[in-house]
Amino acid sequence: MSGGGPPRKRNFKIEAFKHRVELDPKYAERTWKVLEHAIHEIYNHNASGLSFEELYRSAYNMVLHKYGEKLYNGLESTMTWRLKEISKSIEAAQGGLFLEELNAKWMDHNKALQMIRDILMYMDRTYVPTSHRTPVHELGLNLWRDHIIHYPMIHGRLLDTLLDLIHRERMGEVINRGLMRSITKMLMDLGPAVYQDDFEKPFLEVSASFYSGESQEFIECCDCGNYLKKAERRLNEEMERVSHYLDAGSEAKITSVVEKEMIANHMHRLVDMENSGLVNMLIDDKYEDLGRMYTLFRRVSDGLSTIRDMMTSYLRETGKHLVTDPERLKDPVDFVQCLLNEKDKHDKIINVAFGNDKTFQNALNSSFEFFINLNNRSPEFISLYVDDKLRKGLKGATEEDVEGILDKVMMLFRYLQEKDVFEKYYKQHLAKRLLSGKTVSDDAERSMIVKLKTECGYQFTSKLEGMFTDMKTSQDTMQDFYAKKSEELGDGPTLDVHILTTGSWPTQPSPPCSLPPEILTVCEKFRGYYLGTHSGRRLTWQTNMGTADIKATFGKSQKHELNVSTYQMCVLMLFNSSDGLTYKDIEQATEIPSTDLKRCLQSLACVKGKNVLRKEPMSKDISEDDTFFFNDKFTSKLVKVKIGTVVAAKESEPEKQETRQRVEEDRKPQIEAAIVRIMKSRRVLDHNSIVSEVTKQLQARFLPNPVIIKKRIESLIEREFLERDKADRKLYRYLA
Amino acid sequence: MMGKGGEAAASAQHKEENEEEGDMVGVVKLISAEGFEFVIDKKAAMVSNTLRNMLTSPGGFAETREGEVRFPEISTAILEKICQYFYWSLHYASGKETAEFPIEPEITLELMMAANYLDT
């Protein structure tokens, strides 16, 4: 009704003029009969003979003459009667025809209902709202629900039929999905409540028991991988079922039933399954199965955490085994390589199967952090691994390969809690590499330093960088030295000095041995030159770190060039003047510390193929009563013979202790500095807060022990940097 | 409500029978109490909800089949006005331009009753 049309309000006025239609008392009855007949005809598919206008006008007039109620009640009872008839015919339908019949009748009813609503439109429009009755269409649906769907002989049978069909489909039979679709749509049309109460709820219950049974059966006879495959298939089937013939709202419900029955209820058993559970999948790199487990378990609450926990405990277990396996500890390079392989393997699993899930990555990282720090030699080994790579391992590798390996090492480094220990070892190993000129690639060395710098800051690497600078200036100094003094030196031995800044290098103060006179003169000349150009400096010789190339002639005038350490050179030079010397003689002449001397004699006399000395009596070890002779019969295919000192690449137990001690010593000032920094800004703080703040500040380098922090605090109190609060003994004050 | 001067776009014409089916296409014949026949576009007839239902009801009533509707209670004059209104409504209802729809005072009452009946 718009613009020009008369407003509906005036209807009431019009009624006053209704007298022109005759008010026959039988009029209502007669008109109703016409309509009732029409309704029957509509149900009988005979509507073509009816005039819509006539029926509409009849209904219109009845409502207009206040027979609306009669019309409505008449409609209700007529429809009810028709539906009861229909219910009988549906009930009579046998077996498979039942649903067909129900569906056909439903279609009929729907069509008839629409026609009836159309002819009774006027009643729907005026009588129904004013007297608060149910609109015709809804009335039709309600009657259908009450007299067909809830009819005892149909109700149960309908549900059973539907559930049976679904069960048969689950067992692999093909069913009429179109029919199912129509029936469930009918239930939905009757209202979501009808669908839910009369179908969905029992459907879910039956599904739950079905899947509970099936999952029980599967889990008894399948391995984990197969079970998951089956569960995934079932889940997809149910989703497909919903999309084909159930209401979309059921999807979440039925999938949650499947998830609960097939996954959540068996989660732990699946993960723990022997020979095929999570651990085996991880071991065998079963990316597909793991991926399936991930996507399925993600659907249920706690699913992923179950996988994660299991993975974490597995990683910790194997990791712990790995880092404490004494066999592994024999070869540090292999040890680190193992760790890297392990990390690569699980990275790939997380990437491929677990969708790069951040929480899994975190779990992996924390596991590594956990077990790497279980072994306090990890920092040393990681440094040794880098040492090995930078000495020889990287030969022929491209720049990217080098970067790749170093990046991986850095990853392990990040897990370390005692980064300062790593620094200590790294310094030692770097020093050895630099001094012996063994480093493969300067670029790789620098790249590693840059990485450490970005990871831990300038402080961490400043000394390492100082070492590189020293190497460079030494080279320049040596060039200058030879340019200026070459005529003075004559034919004497060539000297190559590395001038190392004290503090930057991991030098152990060791008493210099007495050098052979030939060498000593050159050294003195250099000392003169150096102190002449740089006044105010002190030069000490680190004879324990040098190397020497010496030429030796053996029995059959065989000439060899021997590459030995400074100590070994000193020992060998003694044999220029005598053929046989006792241990005591050597010790006296060279003043080499006894442990070093033993080691150096061992490598000269006891290593096969490199035994330029002969020992009496013959044995593997050096004892203080041994006598040594120049070995005339020494032969070697090589002109250049490298005589390594028997130094364990790995530190021996006392050395380890020593390093640890030094690390602890180094930590003290760092802890104190941190305490002072904190107290300076806070002025007053309680003990526990200090400990936690200090731990936080130093975390990047090491994990300080609370007991040690306490000792440092006490020491600071003694030195009057801090004082205890007079009232509260737990509080400390900063004294400026 | 009352007005004059606006032109109604009525094009009600007599006779001619057209047995065309379809939702919005084709024509429909409206027959007044006196037997006058108005053939109008279905589109226009659909302005009335009653006619719309009548013409689209699934059952295949006589009207749908024959394409004609008899109104024994609506006089020719009123039916003509109604048809004019259908076209007027079709033309102006949605658009921004408006024009008055002229209704003569003497037919107002009957027209309103018919409008109520036709749910227009």
| pLDDT over 60 (residue A134) | yes
Residue B2, chain A, CB below 8 Å: the answer is: no
- Torsions phi, psi of A621, nearest 5? -110, 160
CB spacing of A5 vs B89 below 8 angstroms = yes
Q: Two tokens at A61?
A: 């007039």
B88-104: average pLDDT? 77
| pLDDT over 60 (residue B67) | yes
A358-366: average pLDDT? 91
CB spacing of B59 vs A3 below 8 angstroms = no
CB spacing of A47 vs B100 below 8 angstroms = no
- Torsions phi, psi of B110, nearest 5? -60, -40
| pLDDT over 50 (residue A473) | yes
The residue that leads in pLDDT, A488 or B91, is B91
pLDDT-based confidence at residue A3 (cuts at 50, 70, 90): very low
A407-418: average pLDDT? 87
Across the interface, of B100, B116, B120, the residue whose CB is closest to A11 is: B116
> What b-and-e string marks burial along A38-52, b requiring 16 or more CB atoms within 10 Å of the CB?
bbebbbeeebeebbb
Distance from CA of A134 to the nearest CA of B (A): 20
Residue A53, chain B, CB below 8 Å: the answer is: yes
pLDDT-based confidence at residue A640 (cuts at 50, 70, 90): confident
pLDDT tens profile A279-323: 888 888 889 988 998 988 888 888 888 889 988 999 998 888 888
Domain membership flag for residue B91:
yes
Domain membership flag for residue B7:
no
Mutate to test the interface with B, among A17, A41, A52 (most CBs of B within 10 A): A52
- Sheet with A580-582: strands ordered across: A580-582, A627-630, A613-616
Distance from CA of B101 to the nearest CA of A (A): 6
Domain membership flag for residue B5:
no
- Sheet with A640-642: strands ordered across: A547-554, A558-565, A640-642
A109-138: average pLDDT? 88
Architecture of domain A655-734: Orthogonal Bundle (1.10)
Indicate the CATH number of A547-642 among 3.30.230.130, 1.10.1530.10, 3.40.50.300, 1.20.1250.20. Answer: 3.30.230.130
Secondary structure class of A130 (helix, strand, coil)? helix
Residue A56, chain B, CB below 8 Å: the answer is: yes
pLDDT at site A361: 92
| pLDDT over 50 (residue A108) | yes
pLDDT tens profile A702-713: 888 888 888 888
pLDDT at site B2: 36
Residue A19, chain B, CB below 8 Å: the answer is: no
pLDDT tens profile A329-341: 778 888 888 888 9
Pairing of β A640-642 and β A558-565: parallel
pLDDT at site A206: 92
Residue B88 domain boundaries: 27-118
pLDDT at site A23: 57
Residue spans of the domains in chain A: they are 21-149, 459-528, 547-642, 655-734
pLDDT at site A236: 92
CB spacing of B108 vs A60 below 8 angstroms = no
pLDDT tens profile A211-256: 999 988 888 888 888 888 998 999 999 999 999 988 888 888 998 8
DSSP B2-41: ---SPPP----B--------SSSSSEEEEE-TT--EEEEE
| pLDDT over 70 (residue B81) | yes
A410-439: average pLDDT? 83
Domain membership flag for residue B11:
no
Find all residues with CB under 8 Å of A656, minimum gap 6, and list them. A377, A380
Residue B7, chain A, CB below 8 Å: the answer is: no
pLDDT-based confidence at residue A628 (cuts at 50, 70, 90): confident
CATH number of the domain to which B112 belongs: 3.30.710.10
- Structurally, how many domains does chain B consist of? 1
pLDDT at site B20: 36
Mutate to test the interface with A, among B7, B104, B116, B118 (most CBs of A within 10 A): B116
Residue B60, chain A, CB below 8 Å: the answer is: yes
| pLDDT over 80 (residue A508) | no
Residue B54, chain A, CB below 8 Å: the answer is: yes
- The CATH class of the A21-149 domain is mainly alpha
First to last CA, chain B: 16
The residue that leads in pLDDT, A729 or A437, is A729
pLDDT at site A11: 46
A118 contacts in B (CB within 8 Å)?
53-54, 57, 59
CA-nearest residue of chain A to B81?
A5
CB spacing of A57 vs B72 below 8 angstroms = yes
8 Å CB contact between A126 and A114: no
Residue A48, chain B, CB below 8 Å: the answer is: yes
